[in-house]
Structure 1
Amino acid sequence: MLVNDVIQSANAQAAASGSQASGNSAKELGNNFMTMLVTQLKNQDPLNPMENSELTSQLAQINTVSGIEDLNATLQGINSQIEAGQALQAAGVIGKGVMVAGDRILVGPDGASTPFGVELENPAEQLVATIVDGSGVPVRSFDLGAMDAGYQSFVWDGTLESGEYAPQGAYRVVVEAQAGDGSALDSGTFNYAVVQAVSTDRQGATRLDLGGISEQVRLQDVRQIL
């Protein structure tokens, strides 16, 4: 039936286009539907006329296509507002310290060091952090005790096993987490960085420029703002 062909074409275009405008709008499809419907009514078999239920169903499908088009436009507007809100929120953290995925620790004068963070999916009975230098040699290891599932930040006092302050420079932290039965647990580490600028990528997502300490990250990737 010609009317059904119009309906199928409308549904296919609505599914394929998403929020993008396609060849025909729902209004144009509706006009085409009415034109073909009138033609069909004029040429239908008087002994086998179109059922009222069939006509109602086809009209409902055209209205559905129009509703989908309006909904896509509404969602696109909402997404634009959300992206603008994220950019505005991200601008508020420029110049502030954040904790993002990474294992780098910077040590300054008198052992002053940047914090590091740990994230666990499951509770740990024991958490051990090992600080290694640029050559991969361990310079300090300490027990952080038990830790619940989730995120927590820590600060190394900058001292070596000998008790002296570590030389200034960049170090890495390696974390080992164990459950109560002694089995190893997966853990994620986070390092400190200062937000230098905010930008958007080609997809419109907001990115934080961390000044080379870490790659640009999304706002939702920040675990803590200091």
Structure 2
Amino acid sequence: MVTAVSGANATTTTATNSTSSSSNGMISSDFETFLVMLTAQLENQDPLNPVESSDYAVQLATFSGVEQQVKTNNLLETLSAQMGLVGVGQYASWVGMDARAAAPSWFDGSSPITLSPNPVSGADGAVLVVSDADGNVVERTAISATTDTLEWNGTATDGSTYPEGLYTFQLESYSGDELLSTDVVETYTRITEAQGSANGAVLLLEGGTMISVGDITALR
């Protein structure tokens, strides 16, 4: 069951989430392959027609270059992880606040969940669809096509309370009987932890959902 809420105050924040990829595994594999090949060449060369010293010089130079590239990538990976930890400090103050994001929200069995629906342009009606952690639809409720925040109190039509757990909310936007769009509804969920990763800071929400900083559209 949902209840309309008048003007909720929220501080909007934006952030970017940088992504990076590492070829360290591939380089390490090539490095090991190079060692095996060079060793096999030394063991099986014809003693009457040995490899020219100039050829060995070239191979050893290649060996050195590959080794240096592996070390460089390991260093970059370490620096990236350290930068991720530094980023955590910026978001430590967010722990304990409610973040608005298009992510599953935790229902504790009593405290209502604040929803921030966003029906598409041209919609004159909407249906809120609530699903549990297993993807089962537990509720479909007709609501106004409005961007006003709503409170979902977890009460079924028979008066019983849904069990605690993660719930996902979707909004079906209608024009008359025509379905225009189905979109995930943003919800407010408590931030319990900030963590660092190679790709930057990530936030752990109540209930165990992990999101990137860039997924958050508002705080309160």
Please give the TM-score of this superposition, normalised by the length of structure 1.
0.47
- Considering Cα pairs closer than 8 Å and 6+ residues apart, tell me whether 1 or 2 has the greater RCO: 2
Higher Rg of the two aligned structures: 1
Structure with more of its chain in helix, by fraction: 1
